[in-house]
């Protein structure tokens, strides 16, 4: 029995509509900013805001596609995980991964490439990457990882 392309298209549209009913990924909260770190300069804060704040602060800018599954699921997962690892808006609590920030930026692991595709302001030039990494190291230190 051969199914027509219309059947498969209707099935895909139906699945897409059905996953919109899954509530995860649409709880776009931005809790209040309690305390930020003592930035070494306004320029460092601006670089961090552009490259890091959407996932690592309570000042997330939620784009329109953040309300459409399955992209909403990925965004919610990334923001929740990012805030747990390092949150520039909750400096009143311990930030156990702060000393990893400089290395993550320096190595290019942060911000992730898939994020910068959709958010061009987060693309750091090599000079900005070095500047941000050096400032984060000055502010928070650098983790010592055994090789």
- Per-residue model confidence as pLDDT tens digits over 110-141: 999 989 998 898 999 999 999 999 999 999 99
Task: Give 5-18 pLDDT, tens digit per residue.
Answer: 888 888 888 888 88
**Domain locations in the chain as residue ranges:** 40-57+64-147
- Say what the pLDDT of residue 56 is: 97
Mean pLDDT of 62-68: 86
Decide if pLDDT at 147 tops 50: no
SS3 90: strand
- Say what the pLDDT of residue 73 is: 87
Lowest mean pLDDT among 30-34, 69-73, 90-94: 69-73
pTM for the whole thing?
0.82
Tokens of 97: 């991964």
Q: Give the residue from 102, 88, 104 showing the smallest Cα distance to 46.
A: 88
């Amino acid at each position: 029995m051969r199914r027509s392309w219309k059947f498969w298209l209707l099935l895909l549209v139906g699945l897409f509509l059905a996953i919109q009913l899954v509530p995860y990924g649409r709880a776009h909260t931005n809790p209040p900013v309690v305390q930020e770190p003592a930035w070494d300069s306004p320029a460092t804060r601006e670089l961090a805001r552009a490259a890091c704040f959407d996932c690592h602060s309570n000042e997330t800018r939620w784009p329109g596609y953040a309300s459409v599954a399955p992209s909403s699921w990925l965004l919610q997962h990334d923001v929740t995980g990012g805030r747990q690892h390092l949150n520039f808006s909750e400096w009143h609590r311990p930030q156990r991964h702060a000393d990893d920030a400089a290395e993550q930026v320096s190595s290019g692991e942060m911000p992730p490439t898939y994020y910068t595709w959709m958010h061009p302001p987060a693309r750091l030039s090599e000079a900005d990457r070095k500047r941000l990494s050096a400032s984060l190291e000055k502010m928070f230190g650098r983790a010592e990882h055994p090789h």
